[in-house]
Structure 1
């Protein structure tokens, strides 16, 4: 049963799947398409009746569920050696969070008022912690007392941490204890930092050491309990926000340079959440499993939606290996996720289902039956096959999932359709970015042909495409207009903090954000991302290739754990470095060599990566997928290098959002890549 809340707007009785967005008359101009708006709800903004326009309104709406309603959940640690978590979630209620946000907010406001904190353009406060109830309590406190939140990624390198503290002029940072030594070592580089607050429980001895160390550097060290106690004794009523008040500076991880700080207003974040509530169908007591970093905009918007309807949020333990255990205990209804996780779910399910004998036959019969139904009617449930075959897959996430969302990167149509029929629930692919508060478009429920698109514009957005002549994309293309996707709306940012150059390159004079993605707008008004303006390169014969797009196509293959595709402007073909999935590599090596190789035998896997026959067979597997996805001949990987040395944040080849830093990845494998090119282009395409 859907949540009864005035902030959720229901679907019409019949969804117009053939007309999901419509062009606005009179907006077509040379070199660009018409402006497209949502066909059901048009364009909403802060003047639309009953619309959320500030973040304190979001929390106030959540409070309507009742002060005793569970809100923030976590699994307490019951043993540190060995590390062990409680077998159930503990909960903090809405009423308890209301009290604690007042305590925290009152302390912060007092410290700025007395001059103990401050000195920058904004009263900015840093949060450096993994997902946990305290993160959300601090953020709600900042929203409630007109402060500006600045998230530090949990995986940021020290250089970026120092850059953001200095750039945003953070005089106070709330941090978990594991990051505090790093902050103290950076103290001389960031003289504006005056106070550090430890948000997790630590021993009295550890607190004493950190306090004394801080004092030697002229810094104030506080425990979270001390901040709350001071606020309780010096209570101030929350200070109402207004729509144009700055709420957050959200830094995007750069692949080549320092992070850019997107300045986000209360109305931008609140109305982004409101837009996502149009057509959202969640049950009473809706529960979200939180594992994507709260420092990133996608997870924040998903949690704001959950708060607005009075739902609850369960935070995972922080250990990716325990994520499924957390899900099975929490039994969430809402699972915001990303392709790199959903691809693994798909790969594991396909490997587990495609087995010899009756089990494999039943799996394939069930899958083909449900896929046929999906493509014919949009229906994702099947009374018989769900009970017999797919119940076990659904149980992996707790058995009560109703909504899975995928964002942050493209995901293949095959994976999307599989997830819909396997989980027997709505699986939405959305498109957004930090600059529009993770909100631009998303697919509609039960749309039979949605896979491969990211749906129509959301109610808060209008979109258009602008010609990209160098890549051959134009708004006059047939059958559908194509070009760089541009988006505009009340959720969109206006500036990068202290960065006029990047602002001018991203936002034009009419307020359109130029996304850097090439899109096609189909006859139903849905957006399909087809290429990338940025990170494109030209091969020696003059063909443009979008390397990230190609990597995403190949990444649906079970053998791919990581893939870096490389192009050289002096060469006519692409090469790649593949970090294979250990289980798949072991199976492939066993098959090719006739000798059993185990997934946990590191030496044998490393040796397999050097075996030319295994490398050749891996390339055959990749090529088969590429051709199925209709990659052009010049987009195919022609030579391949296998390695077990993965790309990571630690070796500086990945950003905190797990995107490959292309220059650093190339440098890591420069010798091997150059050697592939030294072999020359193969005489013919890889045999299938």
Structure 2
């Protein structure tokens, strides 16, 4: 057997890191209108020849080589459905048990394709539609091992997108949770679907009803246990897989069009896992991570495959976001992948609890300031005295064993990044990537005191350059740092959208560079900072150009903001917007404003909706946005002057959100058209009148 990643390729960080040269320009690559090509200053370009892992099945073999009896996939058993209650500990499937199950499921799936029950498309595609749970990974591991192509359906996808993807990817078999099966059966006559497999075990009565319903449309309905039995009866060895074989089609949705299918090969996926593990110091005896971010997104899939590669455990949350902290305290993970919305809530909850009047609050503020100053000076986020006296209890909120917190998918404020360093004394990593790059792009380094506000240096699998955007005033010659549209190229970058030549050509140029649409700046240490978006630029009445997505990104790091939409009218001189506040933080804000006389619950939507209409609340939230905008250097004409505060969130069902939770600008405007137009009928803000 080859020597796999778990033994030889989790390269530790050196004692001294070149923080002043995190990304370095490649000599001779600078051209007019663009920067030089930047590569990682520590690892250099990724050399795949040094790594035994070439395909996704190699990743599982790597983890399996650390011990077949080691736990891999865990869950909290459901004890009661009436008053929802889960077990006080995790139960685990071992690597050996998962290996057996992936062979059974893989053999069953392959048998259905071989006997022509499934198939007929360009690729042997298989759909997965479920929240995170052990069975999701078991099915996906089976597909990897038997050379089938996984197609993830977002658990929040709308009916139209589901139907589109089933037809576009020619899905003839889908594994889905029970709650999705009726919806699939309603549209099956308009799709190539032939087999629906319930991930949940079916009772005899439910099985009979669904089977008869399926027979009407010529579709087989089975559950996972039946597929296991089919595989046991037709068991075959794993099928050969090559690095160039397609592993997955990941659909990513824009704000105006139907989803685009990013074709990801085994080499691209496995290379992203290798890259993500470089310098990641997790326990050699098997790390533990919490799985709660959607597995349909590439960010979570890469994280979980990286954990698998080193023989780590993956504990799945109960499916209820309100139990996330409880799940952490039961699981006690070492690795907590995060997104700004979740990390902002943790930040606000801890600060609200600890930063209070009196001795307790004074002690916390003294401890926090001492650690913050030490971190900003040295990059060391530990403190022997204050960690034991104050921050031990805060670390216990997420289980007490964290060694790594990552943040991705959206901008996060420097304040929150520094808080996480101070409070949890672990490696806090912020990165930048996209589905088209298999989640690989840039990632901040451990112990970098200046990383806040940036997304770190280029990762080893990627090279980055910036190209001029003259219309927006960004050039590679800007001082003190070059700026321009971020372009990426490397082994993890995709080469095609599935059956979509037009969008492929618009995204990838003739030299293989992926044009991201984001505007970045590379600082003197080689760290990338996201500063703007090329798209969604408009001109205000006074002739100033504004990039609406950039402004939304600036304001979205404000913790009170759950969702935000910024709107501009070319006949007007200022911007307005809609803010959907975080219910937990809004409840705390309203309770605090009452001086303790009224305590509002985050679940009391009526009270929160009434608060949104209060001028005091509106002004306070607008002041928070203004403060954040000033801190990030928004110009006066870029700052939002009036806002509509509402608890009527943007969502997929009403068409104002894409399946990947991006705001559809046209539909968002139509939803709040009366309110936004009304904001322009008021007297002109004084700050605008002075222009």
The alignment's TM-score, normalised by the length of structure 2, stands at: 0.96
Deviation of 1:685 after TM superposition, in Å, equals: 7.2
Matched, 1:117 2:135: no
TM-superposed CA distance for 1:637, in Å, is 1.2
- Other-structure match for 1:39: 41
Distance in 1 of aligned mates of 2:372 and 2:594? 36
Residues 282-317 of structure 1: CA deviation (Å, up to 9, x unaligned): 012200100001001000000011011011100101
Deviation at residue 683 of structure 1 after TM alignment:
1.4
Instruction: List aligned pairs for 1:189-228, cutoff 5 A.
Output: 189-190=190-191, 192-228=192-228
CA distance in 2, matches of 1:227, 1:593: 58
Which residue in 2 is equivalent to 1:415? 416
Shift of 1:73: 0.4
Q: Distance in 2 between matches of 1:262 and 1:370?
A: 43
CA change 1:535–1:274 in 2 (3 A) is same
Are the counterparts in 1 of residues 151 and 250 from structure 2 also a CA contact under 8 Å? Answer: yes
- Over 3 Å counting, the alpha-carbon distance change for 1:471 and 1:86 in structure 2 is same
CA positional deviation for 1:232:
1.0
SS in 2 for 1:58: helix
2:677 is the alignment partner of 1:674? yes
SS at match of 2:73: strand
- Can you list the C-alpha shifts for 1:113-140, whole angstroms capped at 9, x where unaligned? 1111111000000011111111101111
Match of 1:24 in 2: 26
| C-alpha separation in 1, matches of 2:360 and 2:235 | 64
Q: Which residue of 2 aligns with 1:233?
A: 233
**1:268-417 matched pairs, under 5 angstroms:** 268-283=268-283, 284-417=285-418
Cα distance in 2 for residues equivalent to 1:509 and 1:347: 46
C-alpha separation in 1, matches of 2:595 and 2:428: 40
Separation in structure 1 between the aligned mates of residue 273 and residue 6 of structure 2, nearest angstrom: 17
Cα offset, 1:384, TM superposition: 1.4
Query: Displacement of 1:577 after TM fit?
Result: 1.3
- Residue 684 of structure 1 corresponds to which residue in structure 2? 687
Q: How does 1:628-647 map to 2 (within 5 A)?
A: 628-647=631-650
Unaligned runs of 5+ in 2: none
Relative distance call for 1:165 and 1:345 in structure 2 (3 A) is: same
- Give the match for residue 251 of structure 2: 251
**Whole-Å separation in 1 of the counterparts to 2:119 and 2:568:** 48
Contact 2:6 2:66 in 1 (8 A): no
**What is the Cα deviation at residue 591 of structure 1?**
6.6
Distance in 2 separating the partners of 1:208 and 1:396: 45
> How far does residue 14 in structure 1 lie from its aligned partner after superposition?
1.3
SS of residue paired to 1:551: helix
How far did residue 86 of structure 1 move?
1.4
Partner of 1:76: 77
TM-score (structure 1 length as normaliser): 0.96
Change (3 A) 1:594 1:605: same
Measure, in 1, the Cα distance between the counterparts of 2:416 and 2:596: 32
When residues 33 and 119 of structure 1 are mapped into structure 2, their CA distance, relative to the original with a 3 A threshold, is same
Contact persistence 2:161–2:258 (CA under 8 A): yes
**Number of aligned positions between the proteins:** 683
Contact 2:411–2:557 (CA<8 Å) still a contact in 1? no
Question: CA shift at 1:23, angstroms?
Answer: 0.7
Aligned to 1:502: 503
Query: Residues 277-676 of structure 1: matches in 2 within 5 Å?
Result: 277-283=277-283, 284-582=285-583, 584-586=585-587, 588-589=589-590, 596-600=597-601, 601-676=604-679
Question: Partner of 2:12 in structure 1?
Answer: 10
Contact 1:76 1:89 in 2 (8 A): yes
**Maintained 8 Å contact 2:411/2:556:** no
Spell out, residue by residue over 1:203-240, the C-alpha distance to the aligned partner (whole angstroms, 9 max, x if none): 22111111111111110111111111111111111012
Cα deviation for residue 159 of structure 1 reads 0.5
RMSD of equivalent CA atoms: 1.8
> Can you list the C-alpha shifts for 1:381-407, whole angstroms capped at 9, x where unaligned?
111111222222211110001000000
Structure 1 unmatched runs, 5+: none
Q: How far apart in 2 are the matches of 1:149 and 1:260?
A: 15
Contact 2:573/2:688, CA 8 A, preserved across alignment:
no
Partners of 1:614 and 1:277 in 2: CA distance: 45
Shift in alpha-carbon separation, 1:614–1:450, aligned structure 2, 3 A: closer
CA distance in 1, matches of 2:351, 2:688: 27
